[in-house]
């Protein structure tokens, strides 16, 4: 249940002050000395109400902290990661804020938005749609890169120039392409089971055709392999974990081999760990999330 519109704390260089915001606090629970919260707000980019989870480490009322953004995969909301990954313990130890947005706009009343799990609701693919039916609301790229960080930095104790990004599956695709195109904004990037080469897999072809149209040159701007082929990377290392028992790996949706090949060709440092016997689930993510949090902490601290 939504709580009443409330004053939220904003942190400035001059200390703590109260501002009015369109933030609505949905939940707040103490975890490892900090607080795992969920908020909603009205998004100007997406033209709808959006939710996000945010973990605030201990002493967040006194100190500013770096921010680690997590992007979830198909069918997920902000809830999957915050309830299943077990990230709070390591975020508290590393003194990181962790922000977890929803995966798409919701309730936009677009015909067909709820017809399938891999397109529309829950499947925003972290791009800016250009097809007329979708372009007003499906602007997850701009939401993640511009609107949400500005919102977080205005209302929470976030250090503006210290943020990193990681994600899973469709969210891994999002994290990689966003970081590769915005290396001035993100200190590091990692992914679990990312869709590495979406222009050449069924999920990507369906989504990109629907959101971006038939011109495949526009698809390449949201494909990590294509971006590295064109531009290389300024990151000292990209970390990817991929389970060998992942059904979507077997089905050809993920294609880490393509990522490995282009990184080798362009001499982009890539740590690709093939984790024997692990699947696509949050059991896999929970097993290795500590490694990823500490990987990012090295760059953020």
Whether 41 sits among the annotated catalytic residues: the reply is no
Q: Which tens digit of pLDDT belongs to each residue from 169-190?
A: 999 999 999 999 999 999 999 9
Q: Does residue 294 carry a pLDDT above 90? A: yes
Catalytic one of 21, 246, 292, 296:
246
- Write down the mean pLDDT value for the chain: 93
Domain boundaries, the chain: 24-299
Question: What span, in angstroms and rounded, lies between the C-alpha atoms of 8 and 19?
Answer: 6
Residue 168 a catalytic site member: no
CATH fold of the domain at 24-299 = Rossmann fold (3.40.50)
Residue 59 is among the residues annotated as catalytic for this protein: no
pLDDT tens figures, 229-283: 999 999 999 999 999 999 999 999 999 999 999 999 999 999 999 999 999 999 9
The catalytic residue among 40, 104, 164, 169 is 169
> Active-site residue among 72, 121, 190, 280?
280
pLDDT digit string, tens, across residues 213-229:
999 999 999 999 999 99
């Amino acid at each position: 249940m939504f709580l009443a519109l409330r004053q939220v704390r904003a942190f400035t260089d001059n200390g703590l002050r109260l501002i009015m915001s369109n933030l609505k606090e949905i939940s707040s629970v103490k975890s490892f000395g900090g607080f795992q919260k969920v908020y909603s707000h009205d998004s100007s980019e997406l033209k709808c109400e959006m939710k996000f989870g945010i973990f605030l480490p201990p002493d967040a009322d006194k100190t500013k902290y770096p921010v680690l953004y997590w992007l979830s995969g198909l069918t997920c909301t902000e809830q999957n990661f915050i309830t299943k990954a077990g990230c709070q313990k390591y975020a508290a130890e590393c003194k990181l804020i962790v922000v977890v947005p929803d995966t798409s706009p919701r309730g936009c009343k677009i015909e067909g938005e709820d017809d399938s799990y891999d397109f529309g609701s829950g499947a925003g693919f972290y791009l800016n749609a250009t097809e007329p039916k979708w372009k007003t609301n499906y602007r997850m790229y701009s939401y993640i890169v511009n609107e949400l960080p500005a919102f977080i930095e205005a209302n929470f104790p976030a250090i503006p120039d210290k943020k990193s990004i990681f994600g899973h599956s469709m969210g891994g695709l999002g994290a990689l392409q966003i970081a590769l195109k915005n290396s001035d904004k993100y200190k590091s990037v990692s992914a679990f089971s990312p869709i590495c080469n979406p222009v050449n897999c069924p999920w990507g072809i369906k989504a990109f055709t629907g959101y971006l149209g038939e011109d495949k040159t526009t698809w390449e701007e949201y494909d990590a392999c294509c971006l590295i082929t064109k531009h290389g990377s300024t990151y000292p290392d990209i970390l990817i974990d991929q389970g060998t028992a992942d059904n979507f790996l077997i089905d050809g949706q993920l294609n880490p081999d393509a990522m490995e090949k282009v990184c080798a060709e362009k001499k982009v440092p890539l740590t690709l760990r093939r984790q024997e016997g692990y699947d696509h689930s949050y059991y896999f993510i929970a097993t290795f999330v500590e490694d990823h949090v500490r990987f990012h902490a090295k760059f953020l601290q």
